[in-house]
Amino acid sequence: MKKQNFKNHSRLVPGYHFLGGTLLLLLFVGSVVNLIVGNSENLYNATLLVLISILLVIVAFYARVFALKAQDRAIKAEENFRHYILTGTPLSKDLRMRQIIALRFASDSEFQELAKLSVTDNLSEKEIKKRIKDWKPNTYRV
């Protein structure tokens, strides 16, 4: 794996993001077309297919959202602990979750300063990541 940096740190899983998303979209579109063009004899089955496709989209969406929320909580705890180890104080309560998530890529040497700047200058997640000179890779999050 090549060295992680700002330009290549995001990650897409082809099976989930592309294949799964495309198949869900095709299922939904196909089921709606089947409902519209179908006759009254298969109205019940066509309606069930539309409902199942909608349900699958909802399940796929929430499966991703719930996993990300759990990862965000873990990141917040880890970065708060890292800040406490480095400074003896917890992270500022004024930091937003997206800022804390961006700070996880900062090395220990620049973490404290970036955390302060994030609060005082109200830096966005993207701005924080662009200011990181010594990138600390995070290869576990998907």
Closest alpha carbon to 56 in 21, 85, 99: 21
- Asked if residue 87 lies in contact with residue 112, where contact means CB atoms within 8 angstroms, the answer is yes
Distance CA 104, CA 137 (A): 9
% of the chain surpassing 70 pLDDT: 96
Lowest mean pLDDT: which of 95-99, 118-122, 137-141?
137-141
Q: How confident is the model at residue 142 (pLDDT cuts 50, 70, 90)?
A: low
pLDDT value for 12 = 79
What would the mean pLDDT of 62-81 be, rounded to a whole number? 94
- Asked if residue 27 lies in contact with residue 9, where contact means CB atoms within 8 angstroms, the answer is no
Distance CA 79, CA 64 (A): 22
Domain range summary for the chain, segments of one domain joined by +: 14-131
> Residue 95: in which H helix or E strand, if any?
none
Residue 10 predicted with pLDDT over 80: no
User: What Rg value do the Cα atoms of the chain yield, rounded?
Assistant: 22
pLDDT value for 3 = 76
Residue 107 predicted with pLDDT over 70: yes
| Predicted structure pTM score | 0.76
